[in-house]
Amino acid sequence: MADPAKTELPVSNIQHVFERLRAGKPVIVTDSSERENEGDFIVAAEAITPEIVQFLLRHGSGELCVSLPDEVAERLQLNPIVGPEENTAPNQTQFLIPIDHKDSGSGVSAECRAITIRALSDENAQASDFVRPGHIHPLLAKQGGILRRAGHTEATGDLLHMAGLKPVGVLIEILSQEGYGMADAEELQAISKKFDIPIISTAEVIRHRYISEKLVHREVEVPINTKNYGTVQVIGYSVEHESQQPVALVWGDLSSVEAPLVRMHSSCFTGDLLDSLRCDCGDQLHMAMTAIYQEQTGAVVYLPQEGRGIGLIPKLKAYVLQDQGYDTVEANIQLGFKADSRDFTVGVQILKDLGLSKVRLLTNNPKKTDSDVYTGFDLEVVEQVPIVAPPHKDREFYLQTKRDKMGHILPTTPAD
């Protein structure tokens, strides 16, 4: 099969995608190569027919699911299969209890599945209309949609909502018909041409949503004189659908330079406040503030996502495991988390709120520079600026793990 990175997928106008969905026809949505790197068929649940179900099963061949917003899941009393702490799926997809409509017979045939799917989109449907377990897998879309989670579940609801349809939609992964994996870019393009189905990426959906809406809102701005970093303008933000309160620290006039120096920093209680030698977080934060202060223009976006997104208490538990011989990646995984659960979407929205379109990013982490979320938000990282903390024996193993297992750009031997 062709290398998907070497095959250009056609770019569809989002208005054409909306027209297709309004006509009750499927579209193909692709996600980032850094995520699942797959294409899914998506179609409005309210327009489903047995013929469409048959097409999706035959040419998609993945897991037939239905994306639902909170209000529908609550009305139909659809609970998660597992709780948040037990959800160890790579992308934390929120599978709800599988169901069939009570009038769908065995629930298996294309006709039976169509009955269940149409009922899920019926605003008058009630929990008693369905039997559990069944053959249709509802998925709970994250509040805030694709701006908070760049997955097919959220893309489905967002596209339908923007098209003026009910945000309840069918999605199914497109498996390769030539091999044993997912359909690559060449196969997706062939399907698109054969059946006249437009293709759109999650990055395009993000871009379209960002034109008219955002999740972050400025709540307060205040200048603060500091001991070592001059006067800093501190901007506090609220985030819709979440309790987190990120802040931006701004030096100078960001519009005065084409690409100001920027640091997106995830909170680290032990490193930032205690100068812990277990990690390089505190050093990176203060090195970044020093570099920006010296240039007199730039910003630090401080994101409350402790322990690479797992929270302070789990992070401390991970420290206990590290003392038993696990490295930082193994400890997170042992606790049931991904090696890095952070989400930089809020940080990117803050950078856009600050009026930035080009930045020089202080980071050693390729994840912060390579993600297509920047393309979705029309933000370009024009330079990755290294920020290597001084070597210390207490964190040598930690830095080696970041370099060897997480791809951070760090010296071969931290002590060099």
Give 318-365 pLDDT, tens digit per residue. Answer: 999 999 999 989 998 998 887 887 878 889 889 999 999 999 999 998
Examine the domain organization and report whether 281 and 353 are in the same domain: yes
49 has binding-site annotation: no
Helix axes 50-59, 110-120, angle to 10 degrees: 110
The residue among 388, 369, 367, 389 whose CA lies nearest residue 379 is 369
Known binding residue 25? Answer is: no
Asked if the structure places residue 169 within a domain, the reply is yes
* Same domain (yes/no): 155, 94: yes
CATH number, domain at 154? 3.90.870.10
Residue 267 annotated as binding site = yes
Domain contains 323: no
Please state the length of the chain. Answer: 416
Residues 191 and 234 in one domain: no
Q: What is the pLDDT of residue 375?
A: 62
Query: According to the model, what pLDDT value does residue 6 have?
Result: 42
How far is it, in rounded angstroms, from Cα 327 to Cα 336?
A: 14
Instruction: 159-163: list long-range contacts, CB under 8 Å, 24+ apart.
Output: 159/17, 159/18, 159/21, 159/27, 159/29, 159/42, 159/200, 159/205, 160/21, 160/44, 162/14, 162/18, 162/208, 162/209, 163/17, 163/18, 163/21, 163/22, 163/44
Residue 315 in domain:
no
Q: Which are the catalytic amino acids?
A: 340, 342
Which of 168, 191, 211 finishes a domain? 211
3-class state of residue 362 by DSSP: strand
Q: What is the pLDDT of residue 194?
A: 96
- The CATH number that applies at residue 262 is 3.40.50.10990
Classify burial at 119, counting beta carbons within 10 Å of its beta carbon; exposed 0-12, middle 13-18, buried 19 or more. Answer: buried
**10-residue mean pLDDT series, the chain (416 residues):** 45 86 97 73 98 98 96 96 84 92 96 98 97 96 87 96 97 94 93 95 84 85 97 95 91 97 96 93 96 97 92 93 92 86 84 95 85 69 92 88 86 57
264 is in an annotated binding site: yes
Residue type, 224: I
266 annotated to a ligand binding site: yes
Residues 186, 245 share a domain? no
Which among 186, 211, 236 is the end of a domain? 211
Whether residues 220 and 88 fall in one domain: no
Compute and round to an integer the Cα radius of gyration of the chain.
23
Say whether both 258 and 116 belong to one domain: no
Q: Which of 211, 239, 268 is the last residue of a domain?
A: 211
Say if residue 60 is in the same domain as residue 172: yes
Q: What pLDDT is stored for residue 90 in this prediction?
A: 77
* 178 marked as binding residue: no
Residue 212 is predicted with a pLDDT of 65
Contact 166, 122 (CB under 8 A): no
**Cβ neighbours of residue 381 under 8 Å, at least 6 residues apart?**
358, 359, 360, 361, 368, 369, 374
The rounded distance, in Å, linking the Cα atoms of 150 and 167 is: 16
Q: State whether 192 and 286 are in the same domain.
A: no
Q: Is 258 exposed, middle or buried (0-12, 13-18, 19+ CB in 10 A)?
A: exposed
6 occurs within a structural domain: no
Is the backbone peptide bond immediately before 411 cis, with ω within 30 degrees of 0?
no
Structural domain for 236, as ranges = 215-305+342-406
Are 200 and 234 members of one domain? Answer: no
42 & 66 share domain: yes
Strand partners, 237: 218
145 labelled binding-site residue? no
